[in-house]
Copies of this chain bind each other. A is one copy, B any other.
Amino acid sequence: MSSHETISASDGADFAELKTNMNVDYVIHYSIPSDKAEAEAGFIQLIEALTKVGLASEVRHGDASSLLVFVKVASNQYLASQIYRERVQDWLYSVRTSAPEKDVVRAFENEPVTEAERLRLVYLLITKPRNEGGAGITPKVGLWKQVNSIFPLHDQAFNSSWIKAWSKKYFLDEEDLDHMRNKFGESVAFYFAFLQSYFAFQIFPAAFGLGAWLILGRYSWLYAFATSLWSVVFFEWWKKKEVDLAVQWGVRNVSRIQHARTKFEWDHEAPDPVTGELVKYYPPMKRLRTQLLQVPFAIACVLVLGALYIFCFGIEIFLTQVYNGPFKSYLTFTPTIILSGILPVLSAILTKFAEVLTERENYPTNDAHTSALIRKIFIINFITSYTPLFLSAFIYMPFGNLMVPYFQIFTSTAGKFYSENSITTQEFHINPDRLKSQMVYCAVTAQVVNVALEFVVPYIKRVAFKKVESVQAKRANQNGEAIQDAPEEHKFLERVRDEAKLGVYDVAVDYREMVVQFGYLSLFSSIWPLTPLSFLINNWVELRSDAMKIAMGSQRPIPWRADSIGPWLNALGFLSWAGSLVSSAIVFLFSGESEGPGGDPSNVHVVGLLVTVLFAEHLYLGTQFIVRYALGQIDSPGLQKERKERFAMRKHLLEETLGPDAMEVATPPTIKTGEKITLAALEDEARKLSVGSGGTPEHTFWLRQQGMNETIQIGRKLISQAKPPKH
């Protein structure tokens, strides 16, 4: 039974009493609706469903209108059998190269169960559909609409030592990532591995950018080329690294084992061509037709968001550079106010659209659904993030002067509110620093604001809430309405109540932020070469603030497995490629003495621009090809390891079944034991045959020369008869 003890939840005895998680695997936060009969019925269903799949439960007060249901696996033996089954399944799907040990006890000794493994399987027990052996509990849906959330409890001791360790070092090492992986699963660990690699790689463009800023100035060809090369190398390198990590963490191909999506609607059931089991089937061509709707969706995004941006952009230019009337200093904020008022609404509407569209694409698995959604969200993000810079670089700077007549509209609109003569305008001049100041905003201000929004604001909010609550609690206490906990549990329960209030950590949000940043770097950083340095500093903070977000700002994430950074890889590739187009165009337009066309399109040499862009893109693609080839020459240690293990496993199997000498080189029959020679006794008979009739021609043919020596004899005779060409 020793093997089972090792897989019980973390031993509380090591930590102070307050840090124990009471062996709880998951907490279910159950809210009580006003209809108490409904609440009771739902609660009973919940406990019954949990018990049926072998989970033990305890219930405690949540806040005034909710319960906390604590769940743990009733029998460790049952959990062990589940884990063993999963490991076997991993092997069936080529995630593992070798099957787990036949002896279960030894299997768990060799590969102890990690916390992530345990938590993942318990979560699956709670949420998997009933027909697959789970309790089928889906928070906030249908029968389970009272279930607010299902979350594991933070390991406080680990979290605080982890955050402390990270704040003291510059680079994370493999061990740090391994810790992440054991606690939060590969999905989160991959994000940190990516961020760490990205951070380390950024040192190069940061240093080069600093040099360029000092020596080459803005809009430098050399800088743009170096950044583009860097982005190619980083992208290709990460693709390899990703595979390596997956092999090292034993999760390669894990994306093949998919968790079925609850809302999937199937056409018919058919046997799976690989496993032979009945699976739900939806024709991919039908899905493809729905997917094509992404094209109008993308166009709609461009139009809607583009229109908003152009509108605000026009007002802004007007107010800052043309308008000179009353309230100018206040009015300049108008576009920002409009943008920050309308943009979130539009984004939300488009995101909703994206969700509906993805829903209709009807993917059978959660992973496919998520990545389809991410693709669409990426389009929205791409437009909202980069449009302002696009407009400045490719509309304002080259066509600025052409816009002047249109400002008349604004002037006359403004004139309706004020007496016409109070509107004074100044002559329009292109602001040559507009692009740079926008870029500085994106690279510095926006990043700082973002860290603040992501980390500081929730912190303040939490502190404030706590304050309010403690006041409420005091009042309730005075009224005798306070929740009564057993004193030895009180602090633990308070902690759980706090965690129940936290949000769910969504790794996609953090990825999105980094990918958008990568886009700024590869598309626009030639505008201000200090951009990468600023990002480098930001990412050092980001790495730690994301860690804190997980440790303190969110519920502990479900430790999902993953074998890559998923759809974000394509987004990175796309941005890296787009960078070759955009940055070459920017450098072409703005490099040189005049720094840009100054609002007059006739200053733009269109053929030169097109040739430059065309050339830059093909240079990019060529470089990518070469880098890919060169990196392909270096064998990935991860894949090598995998091949090695597979080879060893097969050789082992072979020796087991065929005996140890199966692969040894068989020695050919020696000269005197050839088949021909064993016929020596029949020699005379054979000669007769060869001269006279009888015997097949084949037989006769091979009996003319008996053995090597005779062949050599006859050969010599033939050579002596030959007439070789004379020299």
Contact = CB atoms under 8 A, between A and B. Distances in A.
A614 to B, nearest CB: 6
Contacts of A1: none
A515 interface: no
A571 to B, nearest CB: 14
A92 B647 contact: yes
Contact of A718 (B20, B61, B704): B61
A644 B40 contact: no
B273 A640 contact: yes
A84 to B, nearest CB: 9
Interface in A680-727: 690, 696-698, 700-702, 704-705, 708, 711-712, 714-716, 718-727
A351 interface: no
Contacts of A724: 31-34, 36, 39, 64-65
Interface stretch (A75-83, A194-202, A454-462): A75-83
Contacts of A676: 56, 74
A576 to B, nearest CB: 14
B88 A718 contact: no
A663 B85 contact: yes
Q: How many copies does the complex hold?
A: 2
Nearest to A256: B643
A97 to B, nearest CB: 11
Interface stretch (A225-233, A303-311, A604-612): A604-612
B82 A697 contact: no
A51 to B, nearest CB: 4
Contacts of A727: 34
A719 B40 contact: yes
A17 interface: yes
A651 B657 CA distance: 17
A727 B64 CA distance: 15
A675 interface: yes
Nearest to A618: B617
A715 B81 CA distance: 31
Contact of A665 (B133, B607, B721): B133
Contacts of A53: 668
A488 interface: yes
A274 B640 contact: yes
A58 interface: yes
A124 to B, nearest CB: 13
Given A102-B658, A719-B43, A58 B711 contact: yes
Contacts of A720: 36
A376 interface: no
A687 to B, nearest CB: 13
A702 B724 CA distance: 101
Interface string A25-51: 000000111101001100110011001
Contacts of A23: 698, 701-702
A700 B488 contact: yes
Interface in A275-291: 275-276, 284-285, 287-288
Interface in A241-281: 273-276
B716 A663 contact: no
A418 B72 CA distance: 107
Contact of A712 (B44, B133, B488, B715): B44
A634 interface: yes
A58 B708 contact: no
A127 interface: no
A222 interface: no
A650 B91 contact: yes
Contact of A75 (B614, B669, B715): B669
A654 interface: yes
A392 interface: no
A418 to B, nearest CB: 45
A358 interface: no
A93 B650 CA distance: 9
A467 B492 CA distance: 105
A527 interface: no
A278 to B, nearest CB: 15
Nearest to A30: B715
B52 A702 contact: no
- Which of A64, A481, A606, A712 has the most chain B CB atoms inside 10 A of its CB? A712
Contact of A723 (B65, B67, B489): B65
Nearest to A699: B23
A16 to B, nearest CB: 11
B643 A274 contact: yes
B722 A13 contact: no
Contacts of A276: 644
A31 B724 CA distance: 8
A60 B714 CA distance: 8
A690 B22 CA distance: 14
A663 B86 CA distance: 9
A288 B698 CA distance: 53
Given A78-B668, A697-B22, A701-B22, A719 B489 contact: no
A15 to B, nearest CB: 11
A509 interface: no
Contacts of A64: 722-724
Nearest to A81: B666
B647 A58 contact: no
Interface string A506-534: 00000000000000000000000000000
Contact of A102 (B70, B657, B721): B657
A471 interface: no
A54 B696 contact: no
Given A99-B653, A715-B67, A75 B708 contact: no
9 contacts: A12-B697, A44-B712, A59-B718, A75-B669, A78-B666, A89-B663, A94-B646, A486-B690, A606-B607
Interface of A: 12-13, 17, 20, 22-23, 31-34, 36, 39-40, 43-44, 47-48, 51-54, 56-61, 64-67, 69-70, 72, 74-76, 78, 81-82, 85, 88-89, 91-94, 99, 102, 133, 273-276, 284-285, 287-288, 481, 486, 488-489, 492, 606-607, 610-611, 613-614, 630, 633-635, 640, 643-644, 646-647, 650-651, 653-654, 657-658, 662-663, 665-666, 668-669, 671, 674-676, 690, 696-698, 700-702, 704-705, 708, 711-712, 714-716, 718-727
Given A32-B724, A64-B722, A274-B647, 15 more contacts: A34-B725, A34-B726, A34-B727, A44-B715, A47-B708, A57-B705, A58-B705, A59-B714, A60-B718, A64-B723, A72-B702, A75-B674, A81-B666, A489-B697, A610-B610
